[in-house]
Each structure stands twice: as C-alpha cells, then as structure tokens.
Amino acid sequence: MVKKIQRSRIISVFGGRKADPKQCEDAEAIGRAIAERGWILLCGGRSGIMEAVSRGCNEAGGLTVGILPGTDDSDANSFVSIPIATGIGLARNEILACACDAAVAIGGKYGTLSEIGHALQYGKSVIVLGSWDIPGTIAVHSAEEAVLTLDSIMKSKELS
Amino acid sequence: MVKKIQRSRIISVFGGRKADPKQCEDAEAIGRAIAERGWILLCGGRSGIMEAVSRGCNEAGGLTVGILPGTDDSDANSFVSIPIATGIGLARNEILACACDAAVAIGGKYGTLSEIGHALQYGKSVIVLGSWDIPGTIAVHSAEEAVLTLDSIMKSKELS
Amino acid sequence: MVKKIQRSRIISVFGGRKADPKQCEDAEAIGRAIAERGWILLCGGRSGIMEAVSRGCNEAGGLTVGILPGTDDSDANSFVSIPIATGIGLARNEILACACDAAVAIGGKYGTLSEIGHALQYGKSVIVLGSWDIPGTIAVHSAEEAVLTLDSIMKSKELS
Amino acid sequence: MVKKIQRSRIISVFGGRKADPKQCEDAEAIGRAIAERGWILLCGGRSGIMEAVSRGCNEAGGLTVGILPGTDDSDANSFVSIPIATGIGLARNEILACACDAAVAIGGKYGTLSEIGHALQYGKSVIVLGSWDIPGTIAVHSAEEAVLTLDSIMKSKELS
C-alpha cells in the first residue's frame, strides 16, 4: 500500500550575494539546524548567504531547493540539491516568500527587503538576523536564537 | 513615412488597498501631475491608493496602465485605461518596479514594501510619501514635494 | 465630474522574431486594423512579427503595449508606445494570453505555440494565420479574414 | 570535508487534471521509472496525470517536486514530497519547462500544450505519449518506450 506523504516543513532563508564571514557562519549554522530537524531549505540558490546556508544544510545531510532567477541550473551554488531554474528573474523572490512555512532573513539588501515584504504580505513568520528592521518581523541576535525561534514557530504550527 | 515613437516616461505609484482620505487626496494630486506632464501612470490597478492615483490621472486626461494580480480585467478600478490581467498574483509587484522610470510610494503596507525593495534592487529612484522609511528612498512630505522631486529626476534623465 | 472609463478592447498578436516579408505585411495590416477600431494592441514588443504589427498599429495612430521579457525597455521595437519591461522572461507569454480579449497568431514557432496554449487554456478566441494548426483555434487565410473574424468576435462580446 | 553535490537529473512530466485510467497507469509507470533511476520528478503537483506520476514516483521511493499555481501548499496531491506554492498561476507552466533536463507529456489539453511549447522553446527534449503531435517532440506509444527514450536522452547528456 502506498503511503500518503507527511511532507516536511519548508524554511526559506533570504539573504544577499554579498555577506561578511560572520553572517556566512550564522547562515551555515542555521542551514545545519534546518537539516537536523528534517526540514527542507528553500533559498535563492546562488552565492553569499544563499551558498552558506546551503553548505550548512548539505553538511548535515539536508535537502536544499534553490529557486534560481535565470534559466541555467549551473548558476546554482555547489550545495543546492535541487536547482529550480525559473527564468522569471527577480520575480522568483515572491516564490521564496510564498512557498515557505517560515522564513529567516540574514543580512541582505534590497532583494532581501522585497522577500521580507512578500513574506509578511503572505502572513508568514519572518525571523531577521542582522537584516532589515521591519515591523512585523521577529528580530534575533544570533544563529542560536534564530533556530530556537524557528523551533517554537514550527511547534505552534503543529499544535494548531 | 512612419515615425519612431518617442515613448512617454512611465511612473509607477505603489500603495495599498487601504488608505485614509488624506493619502487618497495626495495620490489623486500626484496622478493629475503625472497626466499633466504627459507621463504614463503604472500601478497595481486596484482599490485604495491605486484607485485614487488612477482617478487623478484620468481627471487630467492621462493614461493609466493597471498591472492586475488576477486573471480578470474587471478587477481593475474604474479609472484604469489599460488593464493588464497578469494572472501571476503578487509577483506582479516585481513588474511595477521593473517597468518604471521612477516610482512613488504612498502609505502602503507589506505589498508596497516588496515593491520598494524590488524597485531599489533595480536601481530606480523611489520617492516615499508617508510610506516605508527605507535607506535609498527619497522621503517627501507632501504631494507637491513628490511632484517637484519627480520633475527633477525626470529632468536629470533627459540630460544624461 | 469624473467619467468612468469605457475601456478599449485589447487584442494580443502572437508571432515570432523571425518572419518572412508576406507575414510581416499581414501583421502590419492587422496592426492597422486594430488601431482603426480603437482597440489596443498587446504584443511581445520585440522584432519580427511583433515589430510589424506594432508598426501597422502605430501608422494608424493606435496604441501598442509591449510586454517585454527582459528588464530593459530599450529592447522594445521602435513602434511600441508603452513598453512594459517585466523581467520575467518567457513567462511573459502567459500575460499576453491572459490579458487580451482575443488573440491572433501569425506564423511563429515554439514561443507562439506556448502563447496559443495559454490563450486556449484561458478560453480566449485565437485566430491563426499561417501559424500552428491547433484544435480550438480559428484558422484564417488572409489578414483581411483575420480582421473580419476579429470584428465578429468583438461584436459577439458586445451583445453578450 | 563537505562534498560538492552531484545533482540528480530532473524530469518534468506534463499532463492535465483530467486523465483516463490507461493514461494514469502509464503516468504511474513513468513516475516509478524516474524514481528507480534516482532522478527527481518535477510536475504541476495537482490531480489527474500529475497525481498519477507523483504516486508512481512515491511508490518507488522517489522525490517529487510539485510546482503549484496557487499560494496554498495543500493544493498538492498526496504524493508530492516538496510542494512549491508559487502563487504565479499558470505562468508556473513555464518553470516546469525551464527547470528540467527532459520532459514527458502524457495526454493533456491546452495547459500541457503551453508546457510543450515552452519546453521546445528552451531546446529541451520532449517525449509525447498520447499527447499533442507537435514537430520537434519525440512521439512514443507506451510507457516503456517513453522510459527507454528518457534513458537514451539522459545517457547522451552524460557523454556530452
């Protein structure tokens, strides 16, 4: 008999192509935590924060789906398990916001801002770490705090 | 002989479906100014700020293109001259940002925030009036100041 | 008092970047007819059939909206009145199908095929002239016949 | 040391929400074959052919990514492992075409036609089984033949 899939939670991580070492370290730790919990990582699939979080997720045996702006899957960083070459450019930011159960923004510039805006518009929980200070987001000060917050958000979703 | 079109400038106006009377008055004034300068108004095509700015543009004989999220052109407010029913949902926010020569954000919530993020990512000038206070935008305090600022931005584009 | 806009009909013309002189002549004639009826022309905004139909529309004083795949409005052909740089690549084909009251396909290859598929999925009338032979489309054999067919489709929409 | 991911091949399966039992059986067999080869299945994530191919893939322990038109992941059929709720409506058809290494169309109507058009425009190999007869596609007459053809296409990609 075929079993109905109990699908995994999907966590989007927003963040730019430019990132300092500390931010990348944080992203990597968050990627590891996502994998360890059996969640799926969704991200923009490219360099910087996107690569760091994918690397962390990969290290811990997790699955990363990279929603790429271009038409070429080889634009994905080396740690993306499933590159989705959309061809829709920066409109793919909306998909990252729409398809997740919760999101974490790490650093980032205007692309990240658009992702935060879209995610809040969809009513998603958005944790921000050294990123845009936008009312409605949940500001945290470390990767550990980001993960603890994700844990309690996901726990509350189970209960509801 | 056929003449090559000297295309009109396109100004996007961002803003939400909920707006107070003062914001709508400002939006209407800005819509009128856009029409009076022969520019084309691009907006989300729906209610609130979008309707007010379309009304102002229409009053002054201008052309409003409404980029609608849904598949039904009758979702457009009554003052949209050209409704473009995209069917791509909130990803249409990216088009409003991409297709303009400059943008004005009036009030607004998270959808507007996503539009500001996308527009800044594309390097567009974004004037904000009682809207999100985001570094890189140009804050103004009245509809008149918004229009004067648009004038000088458009003037600088001609010279360059 | 402000009048509610009685919006113009929107006709999409599908067709590729490569086109022979006869197809371009037909496209130009159809563009002229669209303009003469006060309809708005929607097309992909680029070269080949898209340019020919835009030229015809422009010659007759009509308005062409070009839904461009890229982020640069200067990709538009010289006869597009309102270039909408979407940045969403070939996904813009779906918008051409979604936003029109009826469509005409002239020649074209696979991009045109995707547009026909999308338009039929939306239940739009699709007239084909030397283009894909797809059940559900209305095949015509000349630009004149295409225009007569458009006339009767638009007339039936008024009555309904 | 972290290993660079050798990413899996992605096969898109196109097909409509309405399908007869024989088509569903074929879709299921093709889904199983995709899983057995360690490829990832990409599909529209909904009912009919999409559900049948997802079921087959799931039975054989494979991974299905469902690119959904709407904003609600619960629209996915029960056998989708990773639902991606895009919110971009039928424009998501373009992503199914863009993101794959090869595609199989089974039955289907106009949505499937748009996917075939997009995939051929991207230069992808498109195998058709009881679907649209479009020049440039590879027509097969059974699920087995579809799988053999996929095998040889994937083999030729390895060599190149």
d(CA A143, CA C72): 39
Q: What's the pLDDT score for residue D4?
A: 60
Q: Do C110 and D118 touch (CB under 8 A)?
A: yes
Compute CA distances C59 → A42, C16, C110, C131, whole Å. Answer: 49, 21, 29, 25
Distance of CA D109 to the CA centre of its chain: 15
* Burial status of residue B8 (CB atoms within 10 A of its CB: 0-12, 13-18, 19 or more): middle
Both structure tokens of A130: 């050294």
Q: What is the pLDDT of residue B65?
A: 98
For chain D, say whether B84 makes contact (Cβ under 8 Å).
no
Assess A10–D contact: CB distance below 8 Å, yes or no: yes
Cα distance between residue B15 and residue B121, in whole Å = 18
The H or E element that residue D20 is part of is none
Summarize pLDDT for C25-36 with one digit per residue, the tens. 999 999 999 999
pLDDT of residue C3: 54
Over range A51-66, report the average pLDDT: 98
- The nearest CA of chain D is from the CA of A132 a distance in Å of 24
**Cα–Cα distance between B160 and C95 in angstroms, integer?**
33
Task: Answer yes or no: do A117 and B110 touch at CB < 8 A.
Answer: yes
| Residue-wise pLDDT tens digits, A3-23 | 556 789 999 999 999 999 999
Mean per-residue pLDDT of chain A: 95
Is residue D1 pLDDT above 50, yes or no?
Answer: no
Largest CA distance in chain A: 50
For C92-118, what is each residue's pLDDT tens digit?
999 999 999 999 999 999 999 999 999
The residues near D21 (Cβ < 8 Å, ≥ 6 apart) are none
On the CB side of A140, how many CA atoms lie within 13 Å of its CA? 21
A155/A150 Cα distance (integer angstroms): 8
D94 CB neighbours in chain C (<8 A) are 89-91, 93-94, 114
Contact of B154 with B160, CB cutoff 8 Å:
no
Q: Tally C–D CB contacts below 8 A.
A: 78
- Please name every residue paired with A43 in a beta bridge, in sequence order, or none if there are none: A13, A66
Residues of A in contact with C90 (CB under 8 A): 87
Residue in A123, A108, A121 with CA at minimum distance from that of residue A153 = A123
Please report residues of B whose CB lies closer than 8 A to that of C83. 7, 99
pLDDT band with cut points at 50, 70 and 90 for residue D6: confident
What's the CA gap between A107 and A50, in Å, rounded? Answer: 11
CB contact A105 to B (< 8 Å)? no
Summarize the confidence of residues D27-43 as an average pLDDT. Answer: 98
User: Cα–Cα distance between D102 and D14 in angstroms, integer?
Assistant: 11
Give the pLDDT of residue C88. 98
- Which token pair is C10? 């929107």
**Contact A86/D71, CB-based, under 8 Å?**
no
> What average pLDDT score do residues A55-72 get?
98
Q: Are C95 and D91 in contact (CB < 8 Å)? A: yes
HEC readout, chain A: CCCCCCCCCEEEEECCCCCCHHHHHHHHHHHHHHHHCCCEEEECCCCCHHHHHHHHHHHCCCEEEEEECCCCHHHCCCCCCEEEECCCHHHHHHHHHHCCCEEEEECCCHHHHHHHHHHHHCCCCEEEECCCCCECEEEECCHHHHHHHHHHHHHHHHHC
Note the pLDDT of residue C5: 66
Contact A69, A92 (CB under 8 A): yes
Q: Determine the pLDDT at residue D157.
A: 87
Most D CBs within 10 A among B68, B88, B92, hence the mutation to make, goes to B88
pLDDT bucket at C157, cuts 50 / 70 / 90: confident
Q: At what angle do helices D21-36 and D49-59 cross, to 10 degrees?
A: 40
CB A67 within 8 A of CB A76: no
Whether the Cβ atoms of residue D146 and residue D140 lie closer than 8 Å to each other: yes
* B90-146 pLDDT, tens digit each: 999 999 999 999 999 999 999 999 999 999 999 999 999 999 999 999 999 999 999
Which pLDDT score is estimated for D3? 54
Instruction: Report the relative pairing of strands A102-106 and D40-43 from DSSP bridges.
Output: unpaired
Average pLDDT over residues C79-94: 98
Give the dihedral sign, CA B89/B90/B93/B98: negative
- Mean pLDDT over each residue of chain B, to the nearest integer: 95
Chain C residues within an 8 Å CB radius of B122: 71, 87
Q: How confident is the model at residue C7 (pLDDT cuts 50, 70, 90)?
A: confident
Chain B residue closest in CA terms to A137: B110
Question: Measuring CA to CA, which residue among B113, B69, B73, B103 is closest to residue B88?
Answer: B69
User: Given C88, C90, C98, which is nearest D121 (Cβ)?
Assistant: C90
| B98 interfacial to chain D (CB closer than 8 Å) | no
Question: For residue A28, is pLDDT > 80?
Answer: yes
For D73, the 3-state DSSP assignment is helix
The residue type found at B65 is V
For C74, residues 6+ apart whose C-beta sits below 8 A from its C-beta are none
Q: Note whether C129 and C146 are within 8 A (CB).
A: yes
Given a cut of 50, whether residue D113 has pLDDT beyond it is: yes
Task: State whether B114 and A118 contact (CB < 8 Å).
Answer: yes
Residue D91: closest CA among D65, D123, D68: D68
Residue C72, chain A, CB below 8 Å: the answer is no
- Lowest mean pLDDT of B26-40, C2-16, C51-65, C115-129, name the range: C2-16
Distance (Å) from the C-alpha of residue C111 to the closest C-alpha of chain A? 14
- pLDDT of C56 over the 80 cut: yes
Q: Whole-angstrom Cα distance, residue A128 to residue A29?
A: 15
- B93 near A CB under 8 A: yes
Residue C3 to chain D, least CA–CA distance (Å): 33
Residue C1 has what pLDDT? 45
C89 interfacial to chain A (CB closer than 8 Å): yes
Q: Is B80 within 8 Å of C4 when comparing Cβ atoms?
A: no
Q: In the structure encoding, which two tokens stand for residue D59, read together?
A: 């039975």
- pLDDT the model gives residue B6: 73
Backbone phi, psi, residue A63, to 5°: -115, 125
Paired tokens of A14: 């927003």
Query: Which position has the higher pLDDT, C1 or D151?
Result: D151
Query: Which pLDDT belongs to residue B3?
Result: 54
Cα–Cα separations (whole angstroms), residue C54 to B59, B125, D8, D112, D151: 28, 30, 44, 30, 45
Tokens of D32: 């199983």
By the CB < 8 Å criterion, does B65 face chain C?
yes
For every residue of D102-160, DSSP letters joined together read EEEEES--HHHHHHHHHHHHTT--EEEESS---BTBEEESSHHHHHHHHHHHHHHHHH-
pLDDT digits (tens, 9 = 90+) for D60-106: 999 999 999 999 999 999 999 999 999 999 999 999 999 999 999 99
Is pLDDT at A140 greater than 80 in this prediction? yes
Which residue of A110, A122, A134 is in closest CB contact with B121?
A110
State mean pLDDT over B33-46: 98
Query: What's residue A3's pLDDT?
Result: 54
User: Chains contacting A with at least 3 CB pairs below 8 Å?
Assistant: B, C, D
CA–CA dist A131, A120 (Å, integer): 15
A118/C117 Cα distance (integer angstroms): 30
Q: What's at C43, amino acid-wise?
A: C
Domains and CATH numbers, chain B: 10-159 (3.40.50.450)
Cα B134 to Cα D71: distance, rounded to the nearest angstrom: 28
